[in-house]
Chain A
Amino acid sequence: MIIEAGHYALVLALALSIVQASVPIYGYWRRQSVLMDMAQSTALMQFVMIALAFAALTYAHIVSDFSLRNVVENSHSTKPMIYKISGVWGNHEGSMLLWVLILSLFGAMLAVFSRQMTQSLKSLTLSIQAWISAAFLLFILITSNPFERIGMPPMEGQDLNPILQDPGLAIHPPLLYLGYVGFSVTFSFAAAALISGRIDPAWARFVRPWTLLAWIFLTLGIAMGSYWAYYTLGWGGFWFWDPVENASLMPWLAGTGLLHSAVVMEKRDALKIWTIFLAILAFSLSLLGTFLVRSGVLTSVHAFASDPERGVFILLILVFFIGGSLTLFAFRASKLRQGGLFAPISREGALILNNLLLTTSCATVFVGTLYPLFLEALTGEKISVGPPFFNLTFVPIFIPIFFLMPIGQLLAWKRGDLLAAAQRMTAALVIAIGFGLGLAAWHGEPALAALGAALAGYLILGSFVDIFGRIFVSKASAAQVWARASGLPLSAWGTAFAHAGVGLSLLGLAATGWGVEKIVSVRLGDTMDLGPWRLALTKIEPRPNSNFDALVAQIQILDGNTAVAQIEPARRLFKTRAMTTSEAGIATLRMGQVYVTIAEQNADQSLDMRLYWKPYVSLIWLGGLVMALGGFLCLADRRLRIGLGKRAATKIKAHSDPDPQSMAAAQ
């Protein structure tokens, strides 16, 4: 019964989304505000319905209802509860349901938190949002229905893929989808603006918090995914330039560009066409990512052909939304009036350069990811595009961004002074070079690592030069400094932290050059040297578990003769699927990590191991967190500022009696 209710709720959500997609637009056309207002209530109801459907599927997984095909294929009664719940989206159907759940969540949020928007912009945006959800709800109901029953329910399920039985599954996909789908809001805003033809700084102001929100989650999602791959895959890599990774990197690059160009539009009324284009691009790339992963086209062109239904459906959605929005763009973009004159060397100029580099690097990832597919489809020739390609193309295009980031922050709007900015950077540059040299003296070769570390140091320090200059004026007391620091807008802090986060990640990346790797065969009681540490194998033991059997190696990490940590790398044999997975043993010490994976025990009782010492490696992901923190600070600032108009108005009312005309203008 619960299952049927959930199924029914999903169909109702589709009906609601069709209403939401058509009625408000008709209302806009006919200037009927009652019809336009329907967008809000339908958006809220749609979210409630999809949430009900999602809850029903979750319930089926929790109680192991094996009359559902989806549960049979992805669950098992002995599976731990956390994986029964996260297993809901650990499969195709469930993950698509999560996708539309988040889509409708954004729609509902848009309906609730947009009181200041004009009615036409709001209803048009919600309407476009409903077009997207209608398309994906149709996709789910027609090709990937999670509520499909089977005639003869089996006693037991086939279990979730062991690799997915990891806490990462509970966090990573929701974060990533919040990012992907978050860009649907900016997309809808862009389409609504193109339809209505009204694009002004106020539009950019409404769009920015949504872009920020999507960007924050995408950043966290990518960082989390990278760390998950790092500790699961077992050879300590964290970024593989895999098509599925690239699919998430592309919207991130476009979204980062959008974040910056929207600032120019908001403050200076310039870059309108470009901002709209990026808003379309960011979500288009999210859709492309969904298509690439969902259709199976990445595994091989043949996998796509063997199950064309789903792939073709998503491809149609892709063509409809990207093609439609770009057509709209082509017709409307020329009508936009450009404002805001500025000199090439200015904050605007720096942000434009940032956009050029970000979009070019995004295009590089795009070409590198899709080229093998095109070449094979056209000529049948198979090539591989791997990390060496991206190191030669993406990296050199991206590095200038690191140099520019701190300088751009120091340039004034309209007309900046490059020389003055460079002078203010001198101290940061000198300290950074000293930092790089110090690390080189300590860790030695390779020189590239020291160079990268110096660049990272410059970036981290440089991100705070602007704030530093605004807080520390000569002869200021501590109290004054504190007052100045807390008086700065949160977005200034946000920018500094987000940029410094990039620097932290870069430092972690650079330091991989100083890593130590050993491949050894070890017996019980042996000790091995690894970088500054000594590792001792103290125990090898089998450990049975509810749904897998593990072989665990216990390793003590010694600093000199004192034990500082203990790790337990393991191999797990999952009974239901007869699959083995490797669990790395990881200890974080001094921001670096000792990382050990083991193989099966050899016949002579020795154990083959791969040992790594990765200095400062945790900074890579810590940097991601700091970037997201910066985003949150900017977001917090936005909310304050959006409320500012209202508070100022009430204050004036209390003090004087303003003429009604200016009050009307204020509202």
Chain B
Amino acid sequence: MKRLILPVFSLLTLILLAFSTPVISPALAVEPSEILADPKLEARARDLSAQLRCLVCQNQSIDDSQAPLAKDLRLIVRERLMAGDDDAAIMSFLVQRYGDFVLLKPPFKIGTLLLWLTPFALLLLGALGLWRLALSRAQITPVQSEALTETEEAELAAMLARPKGQLGQKDG
């Protein structure tokens, strides 16, 4: 197995998918026979399936997976829907059986606090930092109009003496 782990992006998924599929692959992900007669219920089933992980696959939803286990889960979802459960009840039913691992959207709890908050905390911190930087820059700006020092004058003269093209790149 390990030698098959490939460099190529997303191929890991492909290979695990291939290996989790029996030699004679059963069918497509969602089979025609699974589809519910009521289009509204079916739409809900598809929507829920997209948020549930195929537990034996690498990062695939049960809606996308051809694995037999994914099919079983799809059937469970549809059974519960037929029984009249609402979406939240079906989700919690599956979480009770398989744990949080089955949810492609991790629940918001202590263990996942950092996961959910880091992106926005970073954005906020970065924005605050930039804001402060902008304020401090604004205070410095007046100093800009000081006269050049002697060495700077000399540097400037040397620069001006250079042929064109060495300096002053055109705006891109």
Contact = CB atoms under 8 A, between A and B. Distances in A.
A382 B99 contact: yes
B23 A367 contact: no
A608 B51 contact: no
A176 interface: yes
Contact of B8 (A169, A307, A352): A169
Contacts of B28: 234, 519, 597-599, 608-610
Interface in B44-67: 50-51, 53, 58-61, 64
B2 A384 contact: no
Given A367-B114, A489-B170, A599-B27, A242 B144 contact: no
Contacts of B60: 240
A662 B119 contact: no
A344 interface: yes
Contacts of A399: none
A387 B104 contact: yes
Interface string B101-118: 111111000011011101
A263 B105 contact: no
A600 B26 contact: yes
Interface string A600-613: 10000000111000
Interface stretch (B82-90, B120-128, B146-154): B120-128
A648 B163 contact: yes
B9 A248 contact: yes
A460 to B, nearest CB: 20
B156 interface: no
A95 interface: yes
A160 to B, nearest CB: 10
B172 A163 contact: no
B6 A389 contact: no
Interface in B10-55: 10-18, 21, 23-33, 35, 50-51, 53
A389 B106 contact: yes
Contact of A237 (B17, B64, B119, B164): B64
A491 B169 CA distance: 12
B58 A645 contact: no
A46 to B, nearest CB: 22
Contacts of B114: 367, 371
Most chain B Cβ neighbours within 10 Å, of A90, A233, A386, A580: A386
A637 interface: yes
B61 to A, nearest CB: 7
A129 B39 CA distance: 60
Contact of B165 (A161, A242, A579, A647): A647
A392 B26 CA distance: 34
A303 interface: yes
A519 B30 contact: yes
A267 B120 CA distance: 31
A492 B172 contact: yes
B58 to A, nearest CB: 7
A648 B166 contact: yes
A384 B103 contact: yes
B137 interface: yes
Nearest to B42: A519
B13 A242 contact: yes
Interface in A607-622: 608-610
Given A381-B100, A384-B102, A645-B165, A364 B59 contact: no
Contact of A363 (B29, B59, B118): B118
A637 B172 contact: yes
Nearest to B118: A367
A367 to B, nearest CB: 5
A652 interface: yes
Contacts of B140: 341
A383 B6 contact: no
B6 A164 contact: yes
A401 to B, nearest CB: 12
B112 A383 contact: yes
A397 interface: yes
A593 to B, nearest CB: 18
B14 A163 contact: yes
A299 B19 CA distance: 13
B97 interface: no
Given A360-B123, A397-B119, A229 B32 contact: no
A294 interface: yes
B106 A385 contact: yes
B148 to A, nearest CB: 14
Nearest to A667: B166
B170 A579 contact: no
Contact of A600 (B24, B58, B59): B24
Interface in A480-529: 489, 491-492, 495, 519-521
A383 B59 contact: no
Contacts of B101: 382-384
Given A299-B12, A599-B28, A652-B163, A389 B105 contact: yes
B147 to A, nearest CB: 16
Contacts of A393: 116, 119-120
Contacts of B123: 356-357, 360, 397
Contact of A356 (B1, B12, B127, B169): B127
Given A173-B7, A384-B104, A666 B163 contact: yes
A162 B14 CA distance: 10
Given A161-B4, A173-B7, A389-B104, A665 B158 contact: yes
> Which of A244, A581, A637, A648 has the most CB atoms of chain B within a 10 A radius of its CB?
A244
7 contacts: A221-B9, A237-B64, A303-B2, A341-B144, A356-B123, A381-B100, A580-B23
Given A306-B2, A610-B30, 20 more contacts: A73-B3, A92-B6, A163-B11, A163-B18, A173-B7, A176-B9, A233-B14, A233-B17, A244-B9, A245-B10, A294-B7, A303-B5, A356-B130, A383-B106, A383-B111, A389-B104, A394-B119, A489-B171, A519-B30, A648-B163
Pairs A-B, 8 closest by C-beta atoms: A386-B104, A648-B165, A388-B105, A491-B172, A95-B7, A364-B119, A599-B27, A344-B134
